[in-house]
Amino acid sequence: MEVDVCPFTSREQYAGVVRYFVQASDAFLYGMGADRAKLPSADEWLRLLLEDHEKPDEQKERVYFAWLYHGTQVGHSSLGNIRAGEDAFIHLHLWVPALRRAGLGTEFFKRSVALSIERFALKRVFCEPRAENLAPNRVLEKAGFTFVRRYRTVPGAINYEQDVNRWVYEGRPR
């Protein structure tokens, strides 16, 4: 399995994130808890991501990790609400449908968690996928996360109100 995970370094990597969301079908966005009406325009979103990329780690809103399969970016994870030395929240997105259900998402995700813990000396990493979105919930369980609770919220600026499952990882990735 030729997989690699590394921090974003290029405009094209951020453009891939924007394309993933803005080119997704309404049904796909809904399934992951996003609302198309709340997405920024592609140009504005890319500008904001690149602006954030230039900030020092302690000022960033998010840190992004590229998921590479045979050298091609096929997904990403992002780390936000970072409290260095304490905790952060992580998201996961495997862009290529043909690569889903093969265990790759779990491997990419484990590597993203390890990089996040190392880079920010984290004690805990949280993830809160939409409760009805089974795929990321399965990945979290396989990656060694512990289920904490299910609750209703609006998780972020691009989301609608939904039930989410809070998962936590404490310690070092396996």
Question: Which is nearest to 158 in space by CA: 7, 13, 41?
Answer: 41
Q: Average of pLDDT values for 14-22?
A: 97
Structural tokens at position 62: 């998010």
Structural tokens at position 54: 């230039």
Q: Counting Cβ atoms within 10 Å, is residue 75 exposed (0-12), middle (13-18) or buried (19+)?
A: buried
Residue 17: half-sphere exposure toward Cβ, Cα within 13 Å: 26
Structural domain count of the chain:
1
pLDDT given at position 1: 58
Determine the structural domain holding residue 148 and report its residue range. 3-170
- Find the Cα–Cα–Cα–Cα dihedral 76, 81, 83, 84, rounded to 10°: 20
Tens of pLDDT, residue by residue over 38-84, are 999 999 999 999 999 999 998 999 999 999 999 999 999 999 999 99
Does the pLDDT of residue 99 top 90, yes or no? no
CATH classification at residue 131: 3.40.630.30
Q: Average of pLDDT values for 100-118?
A: 92
Q: Average of pLDDT values for 144-150?
A: 97
Angle at 24 between CA 23 and CA 25, to 5 degrees: 120
How many helices (DSSP H) and strands (DSSP E) are in the chain? 5, 7
pLDDT given at position 21: 97
User: pTM of this prediction?
Assistant: 0.93
pLDDT given at position 7: 97
Does the pLDDT of residue 153 top 80, yes or no? yes
Q: Where are the alpha helices (DSSP H) in the chain?
A: 11-22, 26-32, 42-53, 104-120, 134-142
Between 55 and 103, residue with greater pLDDT: 55
Q: Average of pLDDT values for 26-35?
A: 95
pLDDT given at position 146: 97
The rounded percent of the chain whose pLDDT value lies above 90 is 91
pLDDT given at position 103: 79
Q: How far is CA 75 from the centre of its chain?
A: 9
